[in-house]
Homo-oligomer: A and B are copies of this chain.
Amino acid sequence: MSSTAPAAAAPEDLLRGAGLRVTAVRVAALHAVGHKQHATADDVLGSVRAELGTVSVQAVYDVLHALTDARLLRRIEPAGHPARYERRTGDNHHHVVCRSCGAIGDVDCTVGHAPCLTPSDDHGFVVETAEVTYWGLCPGCRTSGSAARI
């Protein structure tokens, strides 16, 4: 068993590796986000239920929190849209969000090592992370012209 590739790592191993209990809901949730990058809690709930049958809303939110805390998932919260989750690559990438439909795309930091990610005046804050979000229109919404609110 030289199952190396972290990308292909089995959910069970990821969980154990993070010191978390291996439960059906957690495994299913990891599968769900693996299949649909940038899934909402609701998407995950759907997938998990499709896979396991009855699962409470709470269980999914709990799991998503646990996985996020354990760094197995990363949560993105675009203003005006429900939170989304992605399997984190560890790299610090950013996101393009469609102002119209909320679609999200990954964006690598243009400049390798974030230049403007160190505030000029931090007001005494201890800055831990910087987050960049690009707002615009996705190909689909651009083509279908209208529909965009405002």
> Which chain A residues have a beta carbon within 8 Å of chain B's beta carbons?
69, 77, 79-80, 83, 94, 96, 98-99, 105-111, 114-139, 142, 150
Q: Please determine whether B134 and A130 come into contact, CB atoms closer than 8 angstroms.
A: yes
User: Across the interface, which residues of B come within 8 angstroms of A121, CB to CB?
Assistant: 107-108
Q: Closest 3 A-B residue pairs measured CB to CB?
A: A77-B79, A105-B123, A124-B139
Q: A115-B116, A116-B114, A131-B133 in contact; A107/B126 too (CB < 8 A)?
A: no
Q: Which residue of B lies closest to A122 (CB)?
A: B96
User: Across the interface, which residues of B come within 8 angstroms of A126, CB to CB?
Assistant: 136-137, 142
Q: A110-B118, A115-B110 in contact; A123/B135 too (CB < 8 A)?
A: no
Bound-complex Cα distance A142 to B105 (A): 34
User: Across the interface, which residues of B come within 8 angstroms of A119, CB to CB?
Assistant: 94, 96, 107, 110, 134
Selected from B105, B125, B137, the residue in CB contact (under 8 A) with A138 is B125
Bound-complex Cα distance A101 to B139 (A): 38
Q: Please determine whether A132 and B110 come into contact, CB atoms closer than 8 angstroms.
A: no
Q: Which of A108, A116, A121, A135 has the most CB of B within 10 A?
A: A116
Q: Which residue of B lies closest to A113 (CB)?
A: B116
Bound-complex Cα distance A124 to B139 (A): 6
